[in-house]
Amino acid sequence: MLAAVALGLTMAVAGGVFLYKLMPSVPSVESIRDIELKVPLRVFTIDGQLIGEYGDYRRSPTHIEDVPPLMIEAILAAEDNNFYDHPGVDFKGIARAFFANLRSGGHGQGASTITMQVARNYFLSREKTYTRKIKEILLSFRLEQELEKNEILELYINKIFLGHRSYGFQAAAQFYYDKPLNELSVAEIAMLAGLPKAPSRSNPLSNPKSALDRRNYVLRRMHELDNIDLPTFELATAAPLTAARHASLVDIDAPYVAEMARDYIYEKYGDRAYESGFQIYTTIKGKNQVAANEALRSGLLAYDRRHGFRGVLTHIEPDAIEDNDALNGILRNFVSSGSLQPAMVIAADKDVIKAYAPDLGEITIDSEGWSWATDDPSTLLKVGDVVHVTPRDDSNWWLAQIPEVSGAMVSLDPRDGAILALVGGFDYYLGKFNRATQARRQPGSNLKPFIYSAALENGFTASTLVSGAPIVIDDPVEGTWRPENYSGKFYGPTRIREALTQSMNLVSVRLLRAMGLQVVLDHLQTFGFDRDQLPKGLSLALGTATLTPLEIASAYAVFANGGYRVEPYYISRVEDQNGEIVEYSNRVKICEECELSELEQATNPDRPDPRYARQVLSPENTFLMTSMMRDVIRVGTGKKAMELGRNDLAGKTGTTNDFRDAWFSGFNDQVTATVWVGNDQPTTLGKSESGARAALPIWIDYMRVALDGIPEKPLEAPENVVSTLVSRETGEAVPPGSANAMTEYFIMGTEPQLDPNQSNLVRDGNGGNQKNVQDLF
């Protein structure tokens, strides 16, 4: 008897010493209160629509009060129905598991409560040893002493692994069912509640039969515990599996912007960016981005159709295909791109093409959908050919192909530089090169407005006559060359307004030569252009600089906003996983009422909000240039844009030599947008593929949506601008009632006067007379 007591005391002392040594290694409850869940980086539009998610953990932290009661009951029925009654540890279960493991000679069976699972998942390893189990019990007691039951349950609901990189029940609901928790059916709730037991081995995607058995077990337990009644139990048990993979779902397709945001935050925070739950709200507007995506893709597909069918992807012998499942597997190996998907031709005659596509079944392509490629489909295609198809509308299809041509589009709010939409190519997933921000291409005539703006700053007016006759340039930098107009025609003396409207190259060259290269370079630099990217010869007049679409759009914003230089930006704010703002855009915005001294202080990049934009172009110059570019759309190379039915649009086409680049940039006072179309390797787009044909339709399709609901704003002349009747042929002032007269605008003091002795003369900015402009060339 004494020996037994002594043995008991010895074991108690030994156990006490063991626990005493073990306690320091058990984490404190304070550390669990402060823990940050590993939450992925998410990128949103300004209006809260998801455009990107990055990180190894799918997790959406949820407060316990936002979890449906039935979900909680299902979890408890599956894992721990005595959760609200026990002290954190189920001693009967532990004893049962202990003896079972002794009999089996292993550590396979456990008896973990939800509290113990929280302890293990947050702080302890997954090893199955008795030492770890004892630590788990000690920490569970601590948790129960320091935390409320619902706090423990909330930690469990957000932490537990549920398969396929999904951590927590909200993330699992999104992954398996594409729903939030509060929209799940009873059967779906039971499925998720059953996952913690074997999330990798028995989830509905990896092992549907095992997952179905586990779901039905949870439903039986819920019925036994009176969580659901008999009809509900029977209906849920009979429900089919509806789980599917819903990975990386986004609300709006904006991968180029999402990647820009990801790169920015990673540069700042490193790997922590992917697990700290940062939420980046970009400046992108949802409807603008959708419109930009559709406009660019539609425009590039239209270009592609104009240049003919390049051939089928491959040919499959129909007899070698066992069934539709086998065919689906074959077709899914071919590249898809957005709405373009591979299909196999099953019939082709002179009237229609019939094809089979996965998830679509049999589709019919009528003559409108194939006539771009051939006069007779039976001579172009045969049964077994694999092609791409894409919807033409809700019920009709195009024969299609992934374009080889590239393009980009970027749109800004000119009032502060916020990027409203950005698309860097036809398909990000076929090539991640962001042409909107990285492709340096020649803008051609898209650069002319900035040269004409310089001319207005240097004594020229909108009615100044400049020769459009042939010219030979002997340039010490660029050698001898002969510029030509896009049309190949030559013109006589032409008013500057008319020259810009019709995009006359020879007038632009003469203007640049008259002003001097350095004067023009200085002026272009005020729009934000990098001087190093601008040529040092007269070819600058033809747009031979190398610029990105974003740089072009940013410069056009100066015209759109009244002459202020704003800085493009795409991140509005960054929040942590708790919704606290950790960073926001210290943007530069317009302040028309600010004094110059105030503006000079406010443009300091280190100054906190507000920062104000510096005015780099006079209101008079801005007004005149906007008026001239409105004529580009009204009667010039951009007149196709008149189909929008608006009078507040201004812009300029751009086409480079041999049709290698096609541009259109345009704006009103609230939206600026630039479109570029070209091949990644600068080669010709083909004859007549000018800015007006290849780029302008994309701009129109975008602006139709972007300007919807935005009222027109009339262009108001500054006080220092006057209007005068002038002759369309000579640019001279003419009296009212004169034939072929038009109203022209001038900065006060530069307007021509009704004086025969000053015919065809232009006043300089001081009101004096300048030599006949034609004599300068």
Sheet containing strand 571-575, edge to edge, reads: 50-54, 41-44, 279-282, 571-575, 581-584
3-state helix, strand, coil in the chain (%, to 5): 40, 20, 40
The gap between the terminal CA atoms of the chain, to the nearest Å, is: 125
CB 274 within 8 A of CB 220: no
State whether residue 43 is helix, strand or coil.
Answer: strand
Question: Which DSSP symbol is given to 475?
Answer: E
Catalytic residue (one of 445, 572, 585, 690): 445
The two tokens of residue 756 are 């025969």
How wide is the angle at C-alpha 609 spanned by C-alphas 606 and 614, nearest 5°?
A: 75
Environment class of residue 472 by beta-carbon count within 10 Å: exposed (0-12), middle (13-18) or buried (19+)? exposed
How wide is the angle at C-alpha 520 spanned by C-alphas 517 and 525, nearest 5°?
A: 120
Distance (Å, rounded) from C-alpha 673 to C-alpha 711? 17
| Residue closest to 635 by CA, chosen among 436, 502, 489 | 502
CA atoms within 13 A on the CB side of 759: 6
Task: Indicate the length of the chain as a whole number.
Answer: 777
Indicate the pairing of strand 279-282 with strand 41-44: parallel
Distance (Å, rounded) from C-alpha 76 to C-alpha 218? 10
CB 463 within 8 A of CB 497: yes
Distance (Å, rounded) from C-alpha 640 to C-alpha 696? 8
| Residue closest to 626 by CA, chosen among 673, 566, 565, 560 | 560
Indicate the pairing of strand 361-365 with strand 353-357: antiparallel
Put residue 2 in one of left, alpha, beta given phi > 0 → left and psi -120 to 50 → alpha.
alpha
| Residue closest to 409 by CA, chosen among 420, 429, 427, 423 | 423
Catalytic residue (one of 60, 73, 79, 572): 79
| Residue closest to 364 by CA, chosen among 374, 377, 379 | 377
Whether residue 79 lies in the annotated active site? yes
Distance (Å, rounded) from C-alpha 596 to C-alpha 119? 62
Distance (Å, rounded) from C-alpha 225 to C-alpha 77? 7
* Helices and strands: H and E segment counts in the chain: 25, 28
Distance (Å, rounded) from C-alpha 332 to C-alpha 318? 16
CB 399 within 8 A of CB 304: no
What is the residue-wise DSSP string for 313-325? SEE--GGG--SHH
State whether residue 275 is helix, strand or coil.
Answer: coil
CB 562 within 8 A of CB 616: no
CB 176 within 8 A of CB 243: yes
- C-alpha dihedral over 252, 253, 258, 259, to 10 degrees? 170
Residue environment code for 601-621, b if the CB has 16+ CB neighbours within 10 A, otherwise e? ebeeeeeeeebbbebbbbbbb
Sign of CA dihedral 29, 31, 33, 38: negative
State whether residue 226 is helix, strand or coil.
Answer: coil
CB 50 within 8 A of CB 43: yes
- Enumerate the active-site residues: 79, 445
